[in-house]
Each structure stands twice: as C-alpha cells, then as structure tokens.
C-alpha cells in the first residue's frame, strides 16, 4: 500500500521549477547572515570564533598540543548536566575538544563510548587521559586544576563567606526545582494544584530576593562580580527548562510579569552572553525533550491554548502568524533576534542548503513506518528508514522551502513556482499507514493520529505522502542542535507553507 501511494505522489510531480541546491547554497552564503555564519564556521573549525553547538574544538588562543580536556556531551543538546559543563568550559575559557553521543532516550550509545565510560554516563570529560563523570564534580575539578582565572572567582574557595553563600543559594535552587517538579511532573488537581502553583511562586520570590541581595549597579549575578559564577550556571540550566515547562503544561507565564525584576535582570544578562546563547534551547524543544528526562508533564485545561501555540497547532506555525509574532509566549533575546526576520530566514536557508542530502533523507522517514525499536523520547526515531520513492519529491519541496526562505515575499515568485510543481501532489483521501488510528479526545482539542505499536503521536495524517515528510521534519527541528530559535520558527512556518501548497488543488491560492 505504501509503495503504491508513494509512486502515485511521485508521478503527480511533473515539473521542477525550483533552483538547484548549488544555486541556493551560493545565494544563502552571499547574504549578510550567510557570510557571517560562513566566516564564523571557518574560525570554529580551527578552534576559534564564537561558541556554537557544532564546534568540536575550542582553543581560546592556546596551541592545539596544549589541549588537555575532551568533553563528551549529548548530540541532541538536550541534557542540562551537559549544558552546565559546556557553559563552565566556555566561561572559564578552557581549551577543549568535544565529542557527542546520543542520550539513552534518543538512541544507542556507540560501543566505543560504553567501553570508555562506565555506564555510558553523560557528561564525561577526559582530563590528561583520566575520565571523570558527574557534572558538579567535573566543574569543580576544571576550576581547580585547569582554569586560569586571573581575578575571576568561579567556584568560591572553601570556608569563605562566598562558599557559604553559594551553599545557601544552591540549597534554595533545590527548593525551586522541587517546587517546579511538584507542579509540572505530578498529577495534582484542585487545592493541591493551587498549592503547587503558590509553592513555585514563593520559591521564585525567594530567588528574586536573593538576587536583589547579591546584585549591584555593576553586577546582575548571585555572588556579584563582573561574570557569572558556578551558582549562576547551576541555576540557569534548571530555570531555562522550568520557564518552558510551567507555561506549556500549566499555562503559568513567569517572564516579563513585573513581579521578579531582579530575576529578569539576571536572565537578560545571561541571554546577552554568547556562551549561553549558543547552548540555549526553545520552549518547543524543551516541551518535547523533558518528558524523556523527567517523566510526563501533566497539562491543565487553562494551558491548552498556549501549549497549542508552542506546539505549532491551530495555525501557530504559519507565515502569517510569524509576521505578527510579539514574543508574548516566549521572549527572544537580542542575540537571538539580531538582524531581524531576514537574518533568521537566511540562517535557516543556509542550514538546509549546506546539509540538504542528509535533511532530504531524514524528512523522507515521514513516508515510512516508525523505526523499531522505538526510544523513550517521543520524537526520536533513529531506526526509521527513508521512503526511497519520496526522496525526489521531498528534495523538490525542500528546494522550494529554501527559495521561499531566501525570497521572503518578493513578487510572489516562490508561491507561483511551488504551486506549479507541488500543488495537487497530496491525495487528501489516502488511507492511513498500517498501525495508525485517528483520535479526538472530545475536549475541544485537535484531531491527532496515534500509532498503537510505537506510541508515536502525529498531528498530520500519516499517509506516506509528501506532506507527512515535511511535517516529520518540521516537528523535529531542534534548538540549538539544528539552528537558532528564530531560524527554527521561520523554518517550521515555511515547511507548513509547503505542506499547504502540496495539499492545494492546482490553480488554488494558498496562504
């Protein structure tokens, strides 16, 4: 059945008006954003330049023969323990190499790593040939044995006032995390739900008060000083995930409320640092990744609307909605929005054009059955195989997506060319692939599709066609793994534009 569907879809695409990848790659690289990224990548390959999730060598001016540290972290850039170790290496400017492996929820760890690190734990570092695990111990080890601090204090010396204050602040962090978990990851209702909300707000007020005590006119940090300390790094990785999850599952917005002014100042200071911006994720990625790490989040009805927007339902991921984006749900930082919409679109276009062969094959998995065995992370599907008969249609569609990202709305050229090639290529009456069913929970939510064998959920009908491939890719664009938050927003919306074109009738106008 699947082969027959795919063959009919491929046969319906009779023209190819999209630019070739070589032209798209050249155009993307010639934009101001593309030129900047290309220059930065050249530096990063030599261990220099700004931090980036893809870099595998950081020298900070040292000679390559002087590198003593190798960091092993997760390749999805989901793990908070990996993130804080990565942040510490950047903040302390410690030369290091980077090697990435999957989290257990995302795929099998390679045999070489399981043999190297007992239990396959992440993060791990190799320092002068010796292996070390547990992020807190790693950070303290790096601080005491490798870092060249100058006047900076990252980990306060034992038995000092700063060390005692650090211990108090980290105890408060434990209380904040406990309040967060009690609200999001436990099925509380009624009075217990209100109590959990109040508990989180109270904990955050205490954090804000402690920041007020530590901050000065010149410093936004917990312990003062010109730069963040280990306390700040410990907090930020939890806070980043807390902010996303309490909004997604509980409808509780804690940003830009006017209630936590010192907390907001601290967040803004972190978001202005390239070291943090390079590792920072977005709310959608966290909403998909956290259940595999912390267990399921328990939604409440009042969170349904904002969760739908974060998850791209109800037209939230459309070019029209994106043009009206006001950061109401997820405030983006100046580093994330530098260059405006053009910069975001061109970053996404360059990412597609640079890695198009792999992206096409990845997207074509959406026209096949889910991989087996499956993994705990809902969108992780490393064992899936691409539908070979859909490679050509997917390639064509993604070239139109890339052209649209580069063109914007210039003269409607992208729309006309994409409609010529793609309109009518999806059969709206095609049956679902084997193992899938259509469901409606009768709570006003959207129709969804569930695979009884793997437990996977999709919101686009899995019929083994082009639209399913584009949706498969759209739902798996991860930040920062694949691109920055603003670029990811534009890519997801433009993929939805291509889905609409493919589902339209020839000659029909699409939004």
Q: If you average pLDDT over every residue of the chain, what do you get?
A: 92
* pLDDT over 80 (residue 442): no
List the domains of the chain with CATH numbers: 2-37+343-503 (1.10.490), 54-145 (3.40.30.10), 163-277 (1.20.1050.10)
CA 384 to chain centre: 21
* pLDDT over 70 (residue 413): no
What are 5's two structure tokens?
């569907």
Predicted TM-score (pTM) of this structure: 0.94
d(CA 237, CA 234): 6
Q: What is the mean pLDDT of residues 83-90?
A: 97
Say which residues have a Cβ less than 8 Å from residue 176's Cβ, sequence separation at least 6: 200, 203, 204, 206, 207, 238, 242
Tens digits of per-residue pLDDT, 176-208? 999 999 999 999 999 999 999 999 999 999 999
Tens digits of per-residue pLDDT, 145-170? 998 877 688 999 999 999 999 999 99
pLDDT at res. 24: 97
- DSSP notation for 87-143: HHHHHTT--EEEEEE--TTTSPPPHHHHHHSGGG-SSEEEETTEEEE-HHHHHHHHH
d(CA 357, CA 215): 49
Angle in degrees, CA 36, 39, 42, rounded to 5 = 150
Tens digits of per-residue pLDDT, 467-491? 999 999 999 999 999 999 999 999 9
Say which residues have a Cβ less than 8 Å from residue 462's Cβ, sequence separation at least 6: 366, 432, 433, 436, 449, 451, 468
Q: What is the mean pLDDT of residues 368-386?
A: 88
Helix orientation angle between 466-475 and 356-363, rounded to the nearest 10 degrees: 110
pLDDT at res. 379: 87
d(CA 25, CA 352): 9
d(CA 397, CA 264): 42
Secondary structure of 345-392 as H, E, C letters = HHHHHHHHHHCHHHHHHHHHHHHCCCCCCCCCCCCCCCCCCCCHHHHH
What are 85's two structure tokens?
């170790």
* pLDDT over 70 (residue 70): yes
* 412: number of Cβ within 10 Å: 10
Strand arrangement, sheet containing 448-451:
436-439, 448-451, 457-458
* pLDDT over 70 (residue 50): yes
* 311: number of Cβ within 10 Å: 18
């Amino acid at each position: 059945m699947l082969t027959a569907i795919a063959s009919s879809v491929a046969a319906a695409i009779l023209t190819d008006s999209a630019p070739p990848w070589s032209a798209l790659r050249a155009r993307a690289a010639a934009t101001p954003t593309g030129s900047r990224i290309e220059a930065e990548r050249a530096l990063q390959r030599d261990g220099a330049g700004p931090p980036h999730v893809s870099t595998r060598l950081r020298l900070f001016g040292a000679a390559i023969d002087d590198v003593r540290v190798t960091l092993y972290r997760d390749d999805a850039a989901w793990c908070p323990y990996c993130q804080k170790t990565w942040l510490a290496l950047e903040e302390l400017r410690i030369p290091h190499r980077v090697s990435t492996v999957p989290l257990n929820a995302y795929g099998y760890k390679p045999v070489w790593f399981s043999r190297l690190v007992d239990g396959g734990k992440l993060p791990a570092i190799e320092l002068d040939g010796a292996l070390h695990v547990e992020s807190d111990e790693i950070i303290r080890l790096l601080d005491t044995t490798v870092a060249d601090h100058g006047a900076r204090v990252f980990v306060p010396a034992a038995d000092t006032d700063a060390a005692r204050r650090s211990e108090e602040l980290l105890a408060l962090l434990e209380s904040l995390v406990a309040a967060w978990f009690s609200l999001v990851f436990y099925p509380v209702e009624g009075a217990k739900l209100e109590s959990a909300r109040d508990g989180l707000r109270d904990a955050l007020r205490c954090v804000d008060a402690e920041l007020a005590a530590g901050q000065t006119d010149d410093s936004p940090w917990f312990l003062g000083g010109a730069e963040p300390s280990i306390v700040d790094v410990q907090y930020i990785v939890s806070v980043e995930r807390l902010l996303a999850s309490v909004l997604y599952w509980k409808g509780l917005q804690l940003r830009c409320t006017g209630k936590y002014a010192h907390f907001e100042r601290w967040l803004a200071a972190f978001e202005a640092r390239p070291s943090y911006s390079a590792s920072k994720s977005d709310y959608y990625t966290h909403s998909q990744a956290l259940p595999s790490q912390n267990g399921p989040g328990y939604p409440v009805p009042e969170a349904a609307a904002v969760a739908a927007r974060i998850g791209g339902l109800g037209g939230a991921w459309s070019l029209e909605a994106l043009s009206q984006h006001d950061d109401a749900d997820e405030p983006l930082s100046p580093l994330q929005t530098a260059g405006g919409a053009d910069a975001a679109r061109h970053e996404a276009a360059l990412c597609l054009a640079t890695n198009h062969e792999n992206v096409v094959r990845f997207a074509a998995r959406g026209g096949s059955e889910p991989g087996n065995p499956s993994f705990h992370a809902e969108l992780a599907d490393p064992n899936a195989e691409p539908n070979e008969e859909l490679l050509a249609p997917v390639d064509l569609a993604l070239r139109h997506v890339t052209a649209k990202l580069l063109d914007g709305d210039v003269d409607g050229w992208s729309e006309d060319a994409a409609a010529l090639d793609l309109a009518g290529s999806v059969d709206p009456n095609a049956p679902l692939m084997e193992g899938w069913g259509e469901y409606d929970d009768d709570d006003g939510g959207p129709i969804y599709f569930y695979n009884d064998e793997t437990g996977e959920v999709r919101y686009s009908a899995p019929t083994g066609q082009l639209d399913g491939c584009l949706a498969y890719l759209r739902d798996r664009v991860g930040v920062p793994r694949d691109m920055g938050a603003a670029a990811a927003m534009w890519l997801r919306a433009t993929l939805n534009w291509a889905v609409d074109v493919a589902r339209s009738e020839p000659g029909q106008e699409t939004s």
